[in-house]
Structure 1
Amino acid sequence: MKQNWKPGTVLYPLPAVLVSCGATPEEYNMLTVAWTGTVCTTPPMCYISVRPERHSYAVIRRTGEFVINLTTRSMARATDWCGVRSGRDFDKFRETGLTPVPAERVAAPLIAEAPVSIECRVRQVLPLGTHDMFLAEVVNVQADEAYIDPATGRFCLERAEPIVYSHGEYFALGDALGRFGWSVRRKRRKQGR
């Protein structure tokens, strides 16, 4: 039997990402975000939702740019740390040992250790309540070659061991269950029948 649950606890799990921002190395920062996702294919667009009191909020609002960096099992501790410490008080890159590297299309840095980094330009800021949503156009995506299958060119997400966030806990993603449309594909008949 299902029971009523408080409305703020919907649609879990969510990707646990590190959003990097800042126009110069002196202001580079990262914040942990779970309120993120894709909103459109053409043009490619995504969003992050951030509380206005967060240090990075003002940086993103002023620069209009950020990078969504996917996180991995090996980045889990840094991901959590960046979610509970403020860039007002700490240089998060130095404290976590993560490496800022220049992006190609935005001033905000990529995180070298992230398997995928999505460069974004803010198109609109939507005040929603506790969070404001930064609706952004994806202007570039960079993937670590270590996770690209050279034979197929496919990104091997499972090898990256991405993490997700659910109700205050982090989880590593498990095994692939199938490809899009696998539930309706016809089975091949064995030859000779």
Structure 2
Amino acid sequence: MGGGKTTRAACGGWICFEDEAGFTRRPPTGRTWGWRGITPVVKVNGRGSGRVSVAGLIAMRPGSRTRLCHRLRRHTGRKGERRSLSERDYIALVDGVHQLVKAPIVLVWDRLNTHVSHKMRDLIDARAWLTVFTLPAYAPELNAVEYLWAHVKHSLANLASVALGRLAALVCNRLKRLQYRPDVLDGFLAGTGLVIDLPPPSP
């Protein structure tokens, strides 16, 4: 938890799960239909490099519609270019969600080195409305966004080779569709098996 804040200060706020994923021009494989005895083949251009990094955040609060926000970066593979999202990228995502919901946020994420760096700790401490919890090590099943990435990657399975910009557009398209499907987002949350206990009403 960041800054010595208490969960009492976050009562009435939103619980947010965050995770990141990477997408490359080599698509994930998946099952498909084909002629018996003939294995379908997807041709992939091995030339070129690049990667699309996405940070996704699912925000929920009992009685409110579940929301999905994301932040995307394209990495072209140029020399000296950062190959992952930075602390500023993550905190910009959280700031955007805070502006959207206009309420305190309890953020739950994993122990990625960027999440627990001194720079990130200072950024968290500077935001009185933000309380952060880190998940136990090797517990992806407790993060609802892991189920989001599995869903998105399944929808991109066997995708023929595309330009990096096109790949980024496809990922954004899949995520924007899910923004209008709170029922699916609720399913990702239910997959964690976590139960939220609401505080008793004030006398």
Please say whether Structure 1 and Structure 2 have the same fold, judged by a TM-score greater than 0.5: no
TM-score (norm 2): 0.25
More strand by share: 1
State the TM-score, normalizing by the size of structure 1: 0.26
Bigger proportion of residues as helix:
2
